[in-house]
Amino acid sequence: MKRHIDEDLSAVRQTLLTMGGLCEEMIHFAVKLLNSYDEGLMRRLQDDEERVNRLHIELDELCLRTLALHQPAAGDLRVVAAALKINSDLERIGDQAVNIGETSAYLAKQPPMRLGDIPRMAELASGMLKDALDSFTRGDVELANSVIRRDDEEDRLKSQTFNELVALMQADSSTIQRGLDHILVSRNLERIADHATNVAEDVVFMVLGKDIRHGGGHPVA
């Protein structure tokens, strides 16, 4: 019985990491589209979204089957519980990446506009997701906590970007629509960082059995 549950937990982990790798790729594609729109790259982004959506369903089924067949306890149960929550966050990250790509399609037809801190936001969000997934693979609480701490910087960059874009739109009304779309992109990136933070919090729960969401605990300094 132990061998069977280990096999199923391994399948859960592998499916989740495959899904996470696709999400990392989608963020990369979305940022490239923002800098230089390409129809072929947009189709690759959409294809990845379809794969993520299929894996979203597959992983839910794997987790539920593991719960039904093995009734895991303690650490094994926390792995399944964390995987179910991380699964939803990864699916939403895929959606956010597609949103950026679709906004890029519109922006590509407009005069260019300075991106401000958006490239830095994209780099930060992408790094947070990578490290959150690595922390899941290794059961590394310190790495998970480092992801959680970085979320404040992403929030700061989003606010700074918003203020800069509003000032630009006030100075030149012809930039209003493009400015609003860039604000939307920054919001998508901030949400990706939020989902990466959720993944990291779930890793802390998985390893320590401690729920640190909503002020329920504090990252390691």
CATH number at residue 58: 1.20.58.220
Q: Please indicate, yes or no, if residue 42 is contained in any of the structural domains.
A: yes
Model confidence pLDDT, tens digit, residues 81-95: 999 999 999 999 999
Helix pair 74-107, 118-138: axis angle to 10 deg: 160
Confidence of residue 221 (pLDDT cuts 50, 70, 90): very low
End-to-end CA distance of the chain: 40
Confidence of residue 2 (pLDDT cuts 50, 70, 90): low
Q: Please indicate, yes or no, if residue 194 is contained in any of the structural domains.
A: yes
How does DSSP classify residue 173?
A: G
* Tally of domains in the chain: 1
Q: Please indicate, yes or no, if residue 43 is contained in any of the structural domains.
A: yes
Q: What would the two tokens of residue 186 be?
A: 């920054």
Q: Please indicate, yes or no, if residue 204 is contained in any of the structural domains.
A: yes
Could you list the residue range(s) of the whole structural domain that residue 20 is in?
A: 2-215
Confidence of residue 4 (pLDDT cuts 50, 70, 90): confident
pTM of the predicted structure, to 2 decimals: 0.92
Strand, helix or coil for residue 110: coil
Model confidence pLDDT, tens digit, residues 100-142: 999 998 898 888 888 789 999 999 999 999 999 999 999 999 9
Above 90 in pLDDT, residue 217?
A: no
pLDDT at 114: 80
Residue 47, number of CB atoms within 10 A of its CB: 12
